[in-house]
Amino acid sequence: MTAAQVRVRRIYDEPTRADGIRVLVDRIWPRGVSKTRAHLDEWCKDVAPSTELRKWYHHDPDRFEEFTRRYRRELTQPPRADVLQHLRELGDQHTVTLLTATTDAERSAAAVLAHVLGGGR
């Protein structure tokens, strides 16, 4: 997968043609977004960080480096590893946009996933 093939965006942003396959990667459905408005192709909640890790991180920028390390470790274990492989396969054929509800998409699980998949923002 190349950097041009994986992107990170907020689910609250309007969809664009450049999004390609739109995949929500949060475990919890975002507030205020209907399934129709989301324009999702998939919801891969099983790739999201564990509840324990998500609560520990609590989007604290000072914890992002450690969050990244711990989340990368979680991505090596089933079922996350299986979903990660699925996302790689999607990216081999299409642009993939990883969607998240978090305010700071650059310090999110979606951003970590994008880097693991070989892309960036």
In tens, the pLDDT along 27-48 reads 999 999 999 999 999 999 999 9
pLDDT 10s digits, 44-72: 999 999 999 999 999 999 999 999 999 99
Share of the chain above pLDDT 70, in %: 94
pLDDT score, position 3:
47
Percent over 90 (pLDDT), the chain: 91
Q: How far is Cα 21 from Cα 75, in angstroms, rounded to an integer?
A: 21
Domain locations in the chain? 3-116
User: Residue 2 pLDDT more than 90?
Assistant: no
Sign of CA dihedral 17, 9, 36, 48: positive
